[in-house]
Structure 1
C-alpha cells in the first residue's frame, strides 16, 4: 500500500551524463534502458535532511573517477549534490563486468543450466555491489535494496566506457 510519504521519497526522472558514457553493446544499452524504466516504476529515494521532500530528478555522472549524484526537485530546484569516490566500488565493478562478459558469451553458446549457474553468480555479485552502494550512500541518501540494485546498474553503465 502506497503512503503519502512514499510519493515524496521517489525519483521521477533519471538523466545519465552523456559525456560520461560511450555507446556500448546492445546488451548493455538494453540493460541500462531497463534499469531506468524499472527504477522510475518503483523506487524509494530520500536525500537525508531534505524536509520538503520530492519527487526528485536524479542526474548521474562519473567525473574524474568520482560518482556525481545531482538531485533536484521536479521544478528544477537544487536539493543536493553528492560526490562519491568510486575506489571502494572498483573491485566489485571489475568482478561484475567479468561475470557479465561470461554471461553474455554463455547465452550464445552454453546450455540452459550453465547459463542459469552463471546468472545466479551474476545476481549474487550484483546484490553484494548494491549492498555496498547502499552503505556508501548511508547518511546521505536513504534507498531500499531494489533502488540500490537499479542505481548500481546505472553506475556500471557510466563506469565502463565502450
Structure 2
C-alpha cells in the first residue's frame, strides 16, 4: 500500500475530454471509480524523472493512448505514447466475459458464476501484464497498479 510519503505515486488523474470525450453517466461513473481506485493505491515511477508525486493526463491520439506525466503541481515531465492495437482483443474478450458474468449472476449456479469470474480475473491479469510490458523502460508500475490502470484503460474503451 502506498503511504502519503511515497514520492513514486500518482496523486491525480485527468482525462483529456477533447480526445477521449464524455460518455454516458454510467460510463463516466465507471471511469471516475477506476481513477479513484488507482489514486488510492499505486506505485508509479516514470524512469529518468525526479521523484514525484505525479499527475497523469490521459488522452487518445490517432488510436494511441497518451500518458502525459506531470508533477503534482502540473509541470510537464514526460509523455509516453502506447498503441492501443495490442489491447483491442484483450479488452474485447474482457467485456464479453464481464457480460457473461453479469448474466450468470442473474440466472447461473454458484459454480458457473465462480468459473466465469475466474476467467474474468485471468483475462484482467493478462491485460495488466500486457500494460506492464508496454510501459517497460518508460514507467515502472507494480502488478496491483497495473491491474488498476488496466481497469481504467478498459473504462476508456467504453462508450456507453
Which residue number in structure 1 is paired with residue 106 of structure 2? 108
> Structure 1: how far apart are the matches of 2:53 and 2:139?
14
Q: CA deviation at 1:160?
A: 2.9
> Structure 2: how far apart are the matches of 1:113 and 1:8?
43
Which residue number in structure 2 is paired with residue 45 of structure 1? 44
Say whether residues 1:23 and 2:54 are aligned partners.
no
Aligned residue-pair number: 159
Q: CA deviation at 1:21?
A: 4.5
> Structure 2: how far apart are the matches of 1:113 and 1:3?
38
> Structure 2: how far apart are the matches of 1:115 and 1:18?
36
Q: CA deviation at 1:40?
A: 1.1
Task: Mark the CA change 1:36 to 1:93 in structure 2 (over 3 Å): closer, same or farther.
Answer: same
Which residue number in structure 1 is paired with residue 142 of structure 2? 144
Q: CA deviation at 1:31?
A: 4.3
Structure 2 unaligned segments of length 5 or more: list them: none
- Out of 86-95 and 142-151, give the one that drifted further: 86-95
Which residue number in structure 2 is paired with residue 161 of structure 1? 159
Structure 1 unaligned segments of length 5 or more: list them: none
Q: CA deviation at 1:64?
A: 2.0
- Does structure 2 retain, via aligned residues, the 8 Å contact 1:8–1:54? yes
After superposition, residues 71-110 of structure 1 pair within 5 angstroms as 71-110=69-108
The list of structure 1 runs, each at least 4 consecutive aligned residues, that deviate by more than 6 angstroms after superposition, is 1-4
- Does structure 2 retain, via aligned residues, the 8 Å contact 1:61–1:158? no
> Structure 2: how far apart are the matches of 1:84 and 1:105?
33
RMSD after superposition: 2.2
